[in-house]
Amino acid sequence: MPLLIVAGPTATGKTKIAIELALRLGAEIISADSMQIYKYMDIGTAKPSPEERERVPHHLIDVISPAEPFTVADYQWLFQTTYNGLKQKGVLPLLTGGTGLYIRAVTRGYDFPGPPVNQELRASLRQEAEEKGKEEMHRRLAAVDPESAGRIHPNDLKRVLRALEVYQTTGVPISTWQKRKGKALPGDVIYIGLTRDREELYKRIELRVDLMIAQGLLEEVKSLLEKGFGPELQSMQGLGYKELVPVVKGQTTLEEAVKLLKKRTRNYAKRQMTWFRKEPVEKWFLLSGPEEESFPEILAYIEGRIGVMSNK
């Protein structure tokens, strides 16, 4: 039983394609999305609708509370448990999402860069950050690991501190650790990617953000805050949530927040494509227009690959 992977940047149409593939192939979907694991966070994470989830079973969605920490290692364990269960039932697993690290971790036995967490050092660095500020910590990182500092935003304190922690613990920049090659992709994996012309993708991103606002994203963020899920949580750092918290608090306007969210989502999509272009995707499909126009070509390719595997 192969593992089918459908990957690509946000707003390409992965959800619709994956659902149609699952229906035609008798598959069940495993989410590879670092935000859809959280309960109560539906609109901003673009979760499949209840109707879509009724049509096709989905796994690893609504797994934990927004207050709980969640790591890639946690995802690996949950994925393996789900994957084993589907294989035992003879059901094709279809892994889909935009979190490339999750996909790499479960297909190539990704070893996490750097040493285990040094809690004492991490607490010390966090105390320094509170006293000296995020910008100072980012400057320190730039001095020892300019490559990481160049791709980590100064406001992303969690990653800045982890990079400093790795360097101070090992004397080796985390960017060097991250260049260690992972294992080869297993032979029973069918890994396809979906992409679109950049301008078309950006238009779809803007339409998606507008739809999220219309569906009540601001109210969802307000509800999360009222439930006690503060902006400092890992879950509340997700796109759509961190931009709208200041609106709820009266610190900015909805118009400005939406503008910022669209910009950050476009940048995120660009980073996703950079990531996936380095991954062992065997076939890219350039979508244009509605997803259903590209579906027959994608289905034919996958059915052909499954047929070849079955005859071996």
How confident is residue 73, by pLDDT bands cut at 50, 70 and 90?
confident
What is the spatial order of strands in the sheet that 58-59 belongs to?
A: 58-59, 27-31, 92-97, 3-7, 189-196, 283-287
Same-domain status, 88 and 133: no
Same-domain status, 31 and 159: no
Return d(Cα 302, Cα 284) in angstroms, integer: 12
Decide: residue 91, CB within 10 A, 0-12 exposed, 13-18 middle, 19+ buried. Answer: middle
Same-domain status, 129 and 160: yes
What's the rounded mean pLDDT across residues 262-266?
A: 97
How confident is residue 183, by pLDDT bands cut at 50, 70 and 90?
low
Same-domain status, 22 and 106: yes
How confident is residue 105, by pLDDT bands cut at 50, 70 and 90?
confident
Is 58 inside any structural domain? yes
What's the rounded mean pLDDT across residues 118-141?
A: 90
Q: Give residue 173's domain range.
A: 119-177
Same-domain status, 167 and 284: no
Is 291 inside any structural domain? yes
How confident is residue 312, by pLDDT bands cut at 50, 70 and 90?
low
Domain CATH number, residue 152: 1.10.20.140
Alpha carbon separation from 186 to 7, 180, 183 (Å, rounded): 17, 18, 9
Which of 284, 259, 151, 253 is closest to 205 using CA atoms?
A: 259
Is 276 inside any structural domain? yes
Is 183 inside any structural domain? no
Same-domain status, 70 and 126: no
Ranges 60-74, 110-124, 146-160, 278-292: which has the least confidence = 110-124
Same-domain status, 153 and 259: no
Same-domain status, 164 and 215: no
The answer for residues whose C-beta is within 8 angstroms of residue 229's C-beta and 6 or more apart is 40, 66, 67, 235, 236
Domain CATH number, residue 86: 3.40.50.300
Which of 10, 36, 49 is closest to 215 using CA atoms?
A: 49
What's the rounded mean pLDDT across residues 196-201?
A: 96
Is 306 inside any structural domain? yes
Same-domain status, 158 and 307: no
Q: What would the pLDDT profile of 168-182 be if each residue is shown by its tens digit?
A: 887 878 887 766 555
The answer for residues whose C-beta is within 8 angstroms of residue 137's C-beta and 6 or more apart is 125, 128, 129, 154, 157, 160, 161, 164
What's the rounded mean pLDDT across residues 10-19?
A: 96
How confident is residue 310, by pLDDT bands cut at 50, 70 and 90?
confident
Is 61 inside any structural domain? yes
pLDDT computed for residue 209 by the predictor: 98
Pick the more confident residue, 1 or 278.
278
Q: What would the pLDDT profile of 28-60 be if each residue is shown by its tens digit?
A: 999 999 999 999 999 999 999 999 999 999 999
19 pLDDT higher than 70: yes
Same-domain status, 132 and 40: no
Question: Mean pLDDT in the chain?
Answer: 92
Return d(Cα 11, Cα 206) in angstroms, integer: 9
Same-domain status, 292 and 160: no
pLDDT computed for residue 113 by the predictor: 56
Tokens found for residue 230: 């503060």
Same-domain status, 88 and 172: no
Contacts within 8 Å (CB) and 24+ apart, 143-149 = 144/173, 145/173, 145/174, 145/175, 147/173, 147/175, 148/173, 148/174, 148/175
Question: Residue 84 carries which side chain, given as an amino acid letter?
Answer: N
Q: How many structural domains compose the chain?
A: 2
pLDDT computed for residue 37 by the predictor: 97
Final residue belonging to a domain, choices 154, 177, 200: 177
Pick the more confident residue, 255 or 105.
255
